[in-house]
Chain A
Amino acid sequence: MITGTGIVKTFKQRGKVLGAREVQALRGVDFAIPKGGAASFIGESGCGKTTLGRIIAGLETYDAGDVVIGDVPMSPLKPKQRQPHFRKIQMIHQDPYSALNPTRTVHQTLHAPLSLRARQTGRSRSWMEERAAEVLSMVGLDPGSVLSRYPHQLSGGMRQRVVIARALTVDPEMLVADEAVSMIDVSLRLGILALLKDLRERLGVSVLFITHDVATARYIGDDGELYVIYRGQVVERGPVDTVIADPVHPYTQSLLSAIPVLHGLELPAEQPVEPLESLDESQSDEGCLFARRCPFRGERCASERPLLQVTEGVPQEHACFYPERRSVIARPMSEV
Chain B
Amino acid sequence: MTKTAPGVRIDGLTVVYKTPAGELPAVRDVDLRLEPGTITGIVGESGSGKSTLALSLLNAVQPPGRISAGSVEIDGLGDVVGLRNEQLRKARGKHIGYVFQAAQNSLNPLKTVGKQLLDLGRSHGVEDLRALVREAKELLGRMGLDGARVLDSHQHELSGGMRQRVGIMLALVLNAHLVVLDEPTTALDMITQANILKIVREVHAERGLTTLVITHDIGVVAEVADRLAVMYGGRLVEQGPTREVLGAPRHPYTKGLIRAIPRLVGDIDEAQALPGRPPTLATVPAEGCVFRERCPLRMDVCDTVDPDVRADTGADGPRAVACHAVTVKEHA
Q: Which residues of A contact B (CB under 8 A)?
A: 15-18, 43-46, 155-158, 182, 185-191, 193-194, 212-216, 218-219, 222, 244-245, 254-265, 274-275, 278-279, 329-333, 335
Contacts and interface: CB of A to CB of B under 8 A. Distances in A.
Nearest to A254: B191
Interface centre among B218, B256, B273 (most CB of A within 10 A): B273
Interface centre among A157, A182, A214, A259 (most CB of B within 10 A): A259
B115 to A, nearest CB: 14
A187 B260 contact: yes
B189 A186 contact: no
Given A187-B260, A264-B247, A213 B190 contact: yes
B256 A187 contact: yes
Contact of B46 (A156, A259, A335): A156
B190 A187 contact: no
B265 A331 contact: yes
Interface of B: 45-46, 144, 149-150, 152-154, 156-161, 187-195, 197, 216-220, 222-223, 242-248, 256-258, 260-266, 268, 271-274, 277-278, 280
19 contacts: A16-B154, A45-B189, A158-B277, A185-B45, A185-B277, A186-B218, A215-B262, A218-B262, A258-B190, A259-B219, A259-B264, A260-B193, A262-B222, A262-B258, A263-B223, A263-B243, A264-B243, A265-B246, A275-B191
A312 B254 CA distance: 45
Contacts of B242: 263-264
Given A260-B193, A261-B222, A331-B265, 11 more contacts: A46-B159, A155-B280, A186-B261, A190-B262, A190-B271, A219-B262, A244-B264, A244-B265, A260-B222, A263-B246, A264-B246
B36 to A, nearest CB: 22
A173 to B, nearest CB: 24
A194 B222 contact: no
Contacts of B258: 262, 265
A127 B125 CA distance: 69
A16 B152 contact: yes
B184 to A, nearest CB: 12
Contacts of A335: 265-266
A264 B268 contact: no
Given A18-B157, A262-B219, A185 B46 contact: yes
A44 B217 CA distance: 18
A70 B225 CA distance: 51
Interface centre among B189, B192, B248, B257 (most CB of A within 10 A): B189
A190 B194 CA distance: 23
Contact of A185 (B191, B271, B278): B278
A196 B111 CA distance: 43
A264 B243 CA distance: 4
Given A191-B273, A258-B194, A185 B265 contact: no
Given A44-B189, A258-B191, A189 B262 contact: yes
B240 to A, nearest CB: 10
B158 A193 contact: no
Nearest to B146: A17
B265 A245 contact: yes
A312 B164 CA distance: 43
Contacts of B46: 156, 185
A186 B216 contact: yes
Contacts of A219: 262, 268
Given A17-B149, A260-B220, A190 B272 contact: yes
Nearest to A240: B268
Contacts of A331: 265
B265 A44 contact: no
B218 to A, nearest CB: 7
A261 B277 CA distance: 27
A155 B46 CA distance: 10
B256 to A, nearest CB: 6
B245 A264 contact: yes
B265 A329 contact: yes
B19 to A, nearest CB: 14
A329 B219 CA distance: 14
A117 to B, nearest CB: 30
